[in-house]
Structure 1
Amino acid sequence: MKGKEWYQADEVAQEYDSKRFSKGGRLIDRREKEAVLAALGPVEDKNILEIACGTGRFTVMLAQEGANVVGLDISRAMMVQGREKARRAGVADRIEFLRGDAARLPFPDDHFDAVFAMRFFHLADTPAKFLAEMARVSKGQVFFDTFNDGSLRVAYNWLLPMGSRLYSEGDVRRLLGDAGLDLAGANHDFVIPFGFYRKVPNGIAQPFRSLDLAVGDSPVGDDLASVSYWDARAESADEASRAATRASDAE
């Protein structure tokens, strides 16, 4: 299966967290959550939209930090897992899960304090439309990650069952400009791609992560990183709406 079909399968949703965020994948989970909190925080009483919320890893975390969160996803099966996770965490009253299309968000302009998407743009078939819509409904902040085309990710990308879109920094900057977004900050990480960590026990993953961080802190670290986290700021609603039109015409 590829893309949307793969992502929406019941069996994929049921095993998503256990396959990706157990063993060495716990390192990935922790780092991604740190990246989201560092970019969005403090989040107490903020209204936040998560695009492609999946099983609610970040949605629930932000609700636990006091945010009011809307989680939007195309997969009913993923959101079933998210709702159960929110119920167990005691934060279901702070989260609304919606099934919807990220290219046509059902919200007015400037509706959320922040909008973010993690593990989404590598699957995005129309990234310009998605980013323009994120900018439109945000009062200011848009945060997302990408997988990078100059990294070891290329070596195993063809093995992934859902396919994967890779980006250069130039690609991201063009998308931001077309969406009416200004880049406020960027962080780059994981010279060793995610797939390796998911396959090995946590005890084995830890030394490799130390090596990964050492290379990442070197002068070539940013160039070799397989993942980048992009923190951007939206222009006015009128400018964002015009950017959305430009993105729609370009696709």
Structure 2
Amino acid sequence: MKGQEWYQADEVAEEYDDKRFSKGGQLIDRREKAAVLEAIMPVEDRSILEIACGTGRFTVMLAAQGADVVGLDISTAMLQQGRRKAQGRELAGTLEFLRGDAGRLPFPDDHFDTVIAMRFFHLADDPEAFLREMRRVSRDQIVFDTFNRFSARSMYNWALPMGSRLYSKSEVSELLAKTDLTLVEVEDDFLAPYGLYRSIPNALASPIRALDTTVGGSPVTDHFASVSYWNTRLR
């Protein structure tokens, strides 16, 4: 995995949510959570594994909605942030945080209803191997996102501390075929890059987001979207 040392640093974990999901980044957080919920609802009583759960944005949300969730991450510091986030929350389901390697998941075959991985595949050095491992422990559904090759993100990708792997639609389709996954739906979003939203106040980001959503609704502009949300099922 790219950037493991950077990602596991205490100071990165402490500042992770504030840097990415404050100001205009709140719009990104809201949209990503909506994409996950839309893909797997209803979540009540479903067993869900989140790969690279980070600070627990999705795990806590899903447990609050009644799912039985395991959040797995390689970073102890990130997991600590997730546990703090869950403290004092009323959770209708269950929530457990585990440290582990996404390439060697510590679970038996067909253990979870759904496996999700958000903000993960742009760091994967062997995406097919990771997807196969996710498929092994799922008995029904896999949901993940990718950053796209023909998006504005490609212009500043070189400046990111760990670099990002960018995907074309055909590349992801090939990965799904190789791992025996059937595409249920793919949603494309964010013509404007994430970095723009994170750098400006919400009051400025909101009208940009409204324009982005309107223009991005065209099949032509989907090709240039920053991110795609993939909802897949086992064959």
Q: Which interval holds the TM-score relative to the shorter structure?
A: over 0.9
Structure 2, unmatched stretches of 5+, are none
The equivalent of 1:78 in structure 2 is 78
Q: Which has the higher helix share?
A: 1
Instruction: Give the Cα separation in 2 of the matches to 1:74 and 1:119.
Output: 14
Alignment check: 8 A CA contact 1:8 1:77 kept: yes
The equivalent of 1:69 in structure 2 is 69
Alignment check: 8 A CA contact 2:52 2:120 kept: yes
Amino acid at match of 2:111: H
The equivalent of 1:97 in structure 2 is 97
SS at match of 2:87: helix
The equivalent of 2:220 in structure 1 is 220
Q: CA deviation at 1:217?
A: 1.0
Instruction: Give the Cα separation in 1 of the matches to 2:215 and 2:187.
Output: 14
The equivalent of 1:244 in structure 2 is none
Q: CA deviation at 1:92?
A: 9.8
The equivalent of 1:134 in structure 2 is 134
Alignment check: 8 A CA contact 1:83 1:92 kept: no
Q: CA deviation at 1:214?
A: 1.4
Instruction: Give the Cα separation in 1 of the matches to 2:135 and 2:147.
Output: 20
SS at match of 2:113: strand
1:34 aligns with 2:27: no
Alignment check: 8 A CA contact 1:43 1:65 kept: yes
Q: Number of paired residues?
A: 234
Deviation digits for residues 97-130 of structure 1 (CA, Å, limit 9, x no counterpart): 1111111111111110100000000011111111
Instruction: Give the Cα separation in 2 of the matches to 1:214 and 1:40.
Output: 25
Q: CA deviation at 1:219?
A: 3.4
Amino acid at match of 2:204: I
Deviation digits for residues 62-89 of structure 1 (CA, Å, limit 9, x no counterpart): 0000000000000000000001111132
The equivalent of 1:245 in structure 2 is none
The equivalent of 1:156 in structure 2 is 156
Q: CA deviation at 1:13?
A: 0.2
Alignment check: 8 A CA contact 2:45 2:93 kept: no
Please list, as runs of the form range in 1=range in 2, the aligned pairs for 1:112-127 lying within 5 A after superposition.
Answer: 112-127=112-127
Deviation digits for residues 24-67 of structure 1 (CA, Å, limit 9, x no counterpart): 00000000000000001110011000000000000000000000
SS at match of 1:108: coil
Alignment check: 8 A CA contact 2:65 2:93 kept: no
Amino acid at match of 2:73: D
Q: CA deviation at 1:132?
A: 0.4
Amino acid at match of 1:55: T
1:179 aligns with 2:172: no
Deviation digits for residues 200-227 of structure 1 (CA, Å, limit 9, x no counterpart): 0000001110111111112322111010
The equivalent of 1:208 in structure 2 is 208
Instruction: Give the Cα separation in 2 of the matches to 1:136 and 1:81.
Output: 28
Segments of 4+ moved more than 2 angstroms = 90-93
SS at match of 1:158: helix
The equivalent of 2:19 in structure 1 is 19
